[in-house]
Amino acid sequence: MNKGTIKSEYGQLSDRDFRRLSAFIYETFGIYLPEKKHYLLQNRLLPRLQKLGFTSYSAYADYVLQQGEHGEETFEMINVVSTNKTEFFREKAHFDILQQELLPCFYEQKINIWSAGCSSGEEVYSLTMLLGDEKSAGHISDFIVYGNDISGRILEKAVKAVYPYQEIDSIPEKYRRKYLMRSKNRTNATIRIVPELRGKTKFVRENLVGKRDTMPRDFQFVFCRNTLIYFDKETQYKVVSRLVEHLIPGGFLILGHAESLVNQVPEGIKTIYPTIYQKDM
């Protein structure tokens, strides 16, 4: 196997240690790392070895496994291993369907939405912008958007709600002036979500495949997009079944365009559109 070039003083991630760590990551977080991810894991763990002063991957693996699933380094490891790619209004068709077809089913109610695997919060704040306008129009009485992720570091960014200015491009013009604040620093321009929308969010560090489950069970909508792709089929089914439990009867589950429940749709939900499902009444 060609594992690429790694500084000699750290050696390489051996096949044995890759199997040990990938099995632990799968059992703890549900993230499946096939053998082809060997080099990726090796590269992403290198900064942790350097920071902690380990001189071998084997010693680092021992350290993580001794700490176990609740260890501080376990979560530092998953921070660098997990992929946190997102953007505002990603897969915009889902937001259009939500606003035009799904949300009217719950007009005059307080809307509760869960963004499962929310990463740095762009999806959460996209939803708050849309719901903010719906509340202003008198369609809904109020709203709150929950977001969860396994990475404490990435959730800190979500809570701060500060993003590079270039991310503004994917935000519809009608929301920019109303819901964004621009920094005065011209050399490092950023945007921040306005306080009234930040106050409509709640971020929770929680693992979708873990035993801890503190989320409410009264959501009209659960968004879980581009998260299931990191799980194998068995784990996908378990996660989806768990998410459905948090929906009210008639609530909707929205998955990413690259995700499908073909031949593994849990009982109690039906397909409305590709990747959009409704819980039985």
**Confidence (pLDDT) at 151:** 83
143-173 pLDDT, tens digit each: 999 999 988 888 999 999 999 999 999 999 9
Residues 225 and 101 placed together within one structural domain of the fold: yes
70-124 pLDDT, tens digit each: 888 998 898 888 766 789 999 999 999 999 999 999 999 999 999 999 999 999 9
Residues 69 and 107 placed together within one structural domain of the fold: no
Residues 134 and 273 placed together within one structural domain of the fold: yes
| Structural domain contains residue 228 | yes
197-238 pLDDT, tens digit each: 999 999 999 999 988 899 999 999 999 998 888 888 899 999
pLDDT at 260 over 80: no
- Per DSSP, the residues of the chain read -------GGG----HHHHHHHHHHHHHHH-----GGGHHHHHHHHHHHHHHHT-S-HHHHHHHHHHH-TT-HHHHHHHHHHS-----TTSSTHHHHHIIIIIGGGGTTSEEEEEEET-TTSHHHHHHHHHHHHHHHTTS-SEEEEEEEES-HHHHHHHHHTEEEGGGGGGS-HHHHHHHEEE-S-STT-EEEE-HHHHTTEEEEE--TTSS-----S-EEEEEE-SSGGGS-HHHHHHHHHHHHHTEEEEEEEEE-TT---TT-PPTTEEEEETTEEEE--
Last residue of a domain, one of 81, 116, 141: 81
Residues 97 and 68 placed together within one structural domain of the fold: no
Q: Which domain holds residue 38?
A: 8-81
**Confidence (pLDDT) at 2:** 41
pLDDT at 54 over 50: yes
What residues are labeled active site? 44, 149
Last residue of a domain, one of 57, 81, 105: 81
The number of folded domains in the chain is 2
